[in-house]
Amino acid sequence: MTTIRCVLVGCGMVADEYARTLRRSRTVDLVACADIDHGRAAAFADRHAIPEAVPLERLEADLVIVLTPPTHHLEIGSAVVRSGMPVYLEKPLALSSREAEALLTLADQHGVLVGAAPDTFLAPPAQAAADAITHGLIGQPVAATAALLSPGPERWHPAPEPIYALGPLLDMGPYYLSTLIYLLGPIAAVHGAAAACRPIRAKASGALFTATAPTHVDAVLQTTTGISITMTSSFDVQATMRPHLEIYGTDGTLILPDPNFHTGAVRLRRRDEDTWHTLPQPPPALDVIGRSMGVLDIAQALRTGHPTHATGDLALHVLHVAEAIRQAAATGARCAVRPASTLMSSR
């Protein structure tokens, strides 16, 4: 089959992870990269053996991968779509659901695909959990918990200010929400509470900066089928032993690894057992495991015509959920979530 020619836009930290994964794939060919800083793009091209660094105005490929800060997603994504090229964007899809809806509407008008991170639910751990749920190993799912508990990315990130403009809910929360929605279905309503526990932060260099979004968010989510989920997203927790994800059923419990990553053990304990055991994991449907599996997902769809899974519609639903949590936290009231696309039930 034809290899999908890709150009990568935005040559920051996460782009290195994408490039390392994509260079191992037989599905795509990374033919160019671009950045607002052309020197950085040229250095990135040299580092990853990419044929050329091109200006942002000269993007030309079968698929454009946008890894810029989300403040630029609508502008760059819209320009790509108007050029008739499919686009894959890092999370969050846009700064707001209104921007995301505008982009997806434009893509529909031009008949091009939009894919979006997170993609970790495509990896073997989430697929093993999905198989366990589908085959009734935990019975009927009744509840779940999710915990992103961290002291914050300023420990390792040299420029954490944009992350704290999003806060943990929009920066890291999409990994948890996407996996939960994939496994348990769309979210119908939420309750929420939020706080800025340490708004003044220090980088590793010692320089101070201000977190402009809440740094600790608690939420109770209810799926359209009535499953209750408790979720905490925090950059204010110094240490924890709480699992990242647990799913509870009438006949057993699943423990999943950190959904920010594409590997890790999935553990199961059934009602009639007194020990946990590790589930076997299926082989991946894509040819490489790692950051950018969502790119390979949309590339495979372009080659075969099969449906995509890491869709713009899923990313839009994640934004709707996050915005509803923020509204619930601000008002103290239960907030309904905009109905999800029918694509949410693709599993």
What secondary structure, in 3-state letters, does the chain show? CCCEEEEEECCCHHHHHHHHHHCCCCCEEEEEEECCCHHHHHHHHHHCCCCEECCHHHCCCCEEEECCCHHHHHHHHHHHHHCCCCEEECCCCCCCHHHHHHHHHHHHHHCCCEEECCCHHHCHHHHHHHHHHHCCCCCCEEEEEEEEECCCHHHCCCCCHHHHHHHHHHHCHHHHHHHHHHHHCCEEEEEEEEECCCCEEECCCCCEEECCCCCEEEEEEEECCCCEEEEEEECCCCCCCCCCEEEEECCEEEEECCCCCCCCCCEEEECCCCCCEECCCCCCCCCCCCCCHHHHHHHHHHHHCCCCCCEHHHHHHHHHHHHHHHHHHHHCCCEECCCCCHHHHCC
Q: What was the pLDDT predicted at 344?
A: 46
Please give the tally of structural domains in the chain.
2
Which CATH number characterizes residue 250's domain? 3.30.360.10
Is the domain of 37 the same as that of 142? Answer: no
Which CATH number characterizes residue 68's domain? 3.40.50.720
Is the domain of 184 the same as that of 105? Answer: no
Is the domain of 103 the same as that of 151? Answer: no
- pTM higher than 0.85 for the full model? yes
In a domain, 329, yes or no: yes
In a domain, 291, yes or no: no
Q: What was the pLDDT predicted at 50?
A: 97
Is the domain of 256 the same as that of 139? Answer: yes
Is the domain of 147 the same as that of 260? Answer: yes
Is the domain of 195 the same as that of 327? Answer: yes
In a domain, 301, yes or no: no
Query: Rounded to whole angstroms, how far apart are CA atoms 189 and 139?
Result: 24
Nearest CA among 104, 120, 150, 3 for reference residue 312: 104
Q: What was the pLDDT predicted at 26?
A: 94
Q: What was the pLDDT predicted at 164?
A: 95
In a domain, 300, yes or no: no
Domain with 148, as residue range(s), is 120-283+310-345
In a domain, 292, yes or no: no
Query: Rounded to whole angstroms, how far apart are CA atoms 179 and 19?
Result: 23
pLDDT tens track, the chain, 347 positions: 689 999 999 999 999 999 999 999 999 999 999 999 999 999 999 999 999 999 999 999 999 999 999 999 999 999 999 999 999 999 999 999 999 999 999 999 999 999 999 999 999 999 999 999 999 999 999 999 999 999 999 999 888 999 999 999 999 999 999 999 999 999 999 999 999 989 999 998 999 999 999 999 999 999 999 999 999 999 999 999 999 999 999 999 999 999 999 999 999 999 999 999 999 999 988 999 999 999 999 999 999 988 999 999 999 999 999 999 999 999 999 999 998 774 444 43
Yes or no: say if 244 and 146 are a contact pair by the CB < 8 Å rule: yes
Q: What was the pLDDT predicted at 1?
A: 64
In a domain, 290, yes or no: no
Q: What was the pLDDT predicted at 130?
A: 98
